[in-house]
Structure 1
Amino acid sequence: MSEHPATEPTPGNRLAAERTDYLTGSLADDAPEDPIALFDAWLDAAFARRAEHGDLSDPSAVVLSTVALDAAGAPSPRSRTVLLKDHDAEGFVVYTNLRSAKAREIAATPRAALLMPWYALQRQVRIEGAAAPVPAAVSDAYWARRPRGAQLGAWASQQSEEIASREDLEQQYAEVEARFADGPVPRPAHWGGLRVQAERMEFWQGREHRFHDRIAYLRTAGGAWSRHRLQP
């Protein structure tokens, strides 16, 4: 009988063999009529999980997806992780350099999607809708709360632009630090908030046997929400 050597693990077969049991919770049919209320409850649970177990590193982390158009007008989706800094009935707000790729993409195609993945709770929330800059006064109010180092960084970085080295990047920061010395750091005109106005929200709760709970909310023409359970 010939001997067959054990199969060496590879990234591919590790992924195929990976199994996770989703047993942490459920999403009942009597979920709130208002998705913002459910979002707030889940956000509170995410912060509580971090405080109690420490295995949910940043409850505010959110994946922002936009659409880029090439020279021929063909769409290309792009995603990156940012931080959610505010939300209310008007929408969900992130802050960025308004000359960045994400901001330019939203200016050209003013729609976006957000994904909040709370892995430790085996939950995720998807948010989709129109996107636009927030009023300057809203950006000013948040800017005033930012740490000084982050304010200086917003001036120093030409976000998404190529730079020769980390040393050059640090030099840009040093120049901005010297420029403002010990005085206040004003908000640059090219920095501010982007709001995604939720038109669709979907809540996903992992369940056993991959038979997950999914509840979607759709905003009606009158501004109210309709609630729908989706098959997994």
Structure 2
Amino acid sequence: MLKEILNNENFKRFLTGSILGFCFFYSYFHTTLLFTFILFALLLIILFFEWPKLINYQLNSYKFWLISFFYPILPVFSLIYLNIFYREQDFILPLYPFIVSWVADTGAYILGKLFGKHKICPTISPGKSWQGLFGGFISVFIFNIFFLPGIKSAPFIFYLNNIYFILLFSFLVTIISFFGDIFISKLKRNKGLKDTGSLLPGHGGLLDRFDSVLFVAVLIFIIIIFNKL
């Protein structure tokens, strides 16, 4: 009985996700330096062990590093930037890309399982449906209503009382999160891979878990940078 439970994929996914979430939140609440170290380690594992499997260039190719600058280096450094420069004044903002991506993923999964009849791109990701995408949007919208008021950084702080801004921003985050997922799914499909790695039982590799997070991180980074111009 115990062996069956331990070998169950849903149990593995839940256990791994719980441990991963605990480690991330513990490191974040501990110190800025520790969380920065975790993010940098995340980048190194992705860059040297998972990313090369998905593209046609080797580590010693300048094209590999040119492509890698835009993904995954820029997205991870966006997370590091938020952690270093916004943590003190806005404790919540650096966590936002992680939490909102997982909220979108959870909402999409639940509604997709219950009502997902109309597939978006069955040849790339058969599990993705329009109903699931809508579920992700609704989940993000509800989450943002309660979460965004805790963000104190510009430009977000200027629009937190505007329901239309929250609606538009939720839609944008949901779409970006979706494309982050589809982007990695497409690369895996091209290479005939089920997962980007096996580091996280029940999830696959780090890119399987953080694909949407990295896209959302860049979105937040771009919004902040444009606001400074």
TM-score by length of 2: 0.31
Give the alignment's TM-score, normalised by structure 1: 0.30
Higher radius of gyration, 1 or 2: 1
